[in-house]
Structure 1
């Protein structure tokens, strides 16, 4: 029977070290969360400077905010699609029914159903597509619009408070 013991390398790349430590930490603390102090202690033991761990923590927090915004954006797009799909269904059920009652068969309403359906299908594809350049541009545009709305709202609130005094 051949020997199947793994051959451990003498050195590891940073990527390898990160993966090994991720596995080890996941196994060591299965249901327990680490405190921020413990994070800093681990970094200190790994000879990672306070500035580096603080910068990494800041980057991680910023990434979590962006991820939350992306999730909100995707929910917003899907909600919009569902509203458009509902309108499409209601209007086209009415038009098809009217066409069948008036003409006895599908004639003109079929064209409306097909062309509008194509638009709705493309909109649905965009709503559920979460990768790619177009999605990224749409997210950036939505994010910018939200920032502008929030800024205007903040300025308006401050103006109202100023006028009340």
Structure 2
């Protein structure tokens, strides 16, 4: 489509409409430097002939997606923290072996092999920690998420029990 076509001939696919409206809303929000209220969201949906039920379902889906994004962010922070701990362990072990090699033989010889092997392990660890896509990541996330949900359930049950015992 060119800019010289009359307005009545222009037509857009649903994806193009969504992209144009996203850009317009983002531009509008930046210019005003404020957030939209729920009432404004309802008004926009009404103008686009979107039913309140459809809007409510879309909002619920959006909230579910946001919750998933937040859980993944927490999982990624957990993985990075675990990586930092293991990196510290690698550093301590390698420092120990290098010091033992220096003291026992007057130089560094056999400890270099251990350092090289641990460097390989650190490289694999870096790859696994910062790889946030793929089947292995999904399996690790699902495993962590299940453990996290079980912990939350146990904590809420225990809190209820303690509250019941206190009364």
- Asked if TM exceeds 0.5, the reply is yes
Tell me which of the two structures has the higher relative contact order, counting C-alpha pairs closer than 8 angstroms and 6 or more residues apart: 1
Q: Quote how far apart the aligned CAs of 1:112 are.
A: 2.3
Residue 90 of structure 1 corresponds to 92
In structure 1, stretches of 5+ residues that fail to align are none
Three-state SS of the structure 2 residue aligned to 1:29 is helix
Out of 76, 79, 95, the residue aligned to residue 77 of structure 1 is 79
Residue 52 of structure 1 corresponds to 54
Residue 164 of structure 1 corresponds to 166
Provide, for residues 73-105 of structure 1, a one-character-per-residue CA deviation record: whole Å limited to 9, x for no partner: 111101110111011112211211111210123
Provide, for residues 30-62 of structure 1, a one-character-per-residue CA deviation record: whole Å limited to 9, x for no partner: 212111100010000100001110001111111
In structure 2, stretches of 5+ residues that fail to align are none
Q: Quote how far apart the aligned CAs of 1:114 are.
A: 2.4
Q: Quote how far apart the aligned CAs of 1:6 are.
A: 5.0
Q: TM-score, normalised by structure 2?
A: 0.89
Q: TM-score, normalised by structure 1?
A: 0.90
Out of 128, 131, 141, the residue aligned to residue 129 of structure 1 is 131
Whole-Å separation in 1 of the counterparts to 2:38 and 2:11: 29
Q: Which runs of 4+ in 1 moved over 4 A?
A: 6-9
Whole-Å separation in 2 of the counterparts to 1:59 and 1:137: 23
Residue 114 of structure 1 corresponds to 116
Whole-Å separation in 1 of the counterparts to 2:53 and 2:82: 43
Whole-Å separation in 2 of the counterparts to 1:111 and 1:84: 19
Whole-Å separation in 1 of the counterparts to 2:165 and 2:35: 48
Q: CA RMSD in A?
A: 1.7
Whole-Å separation in 2 of the counterparts to 1:158 and 1:104: 63
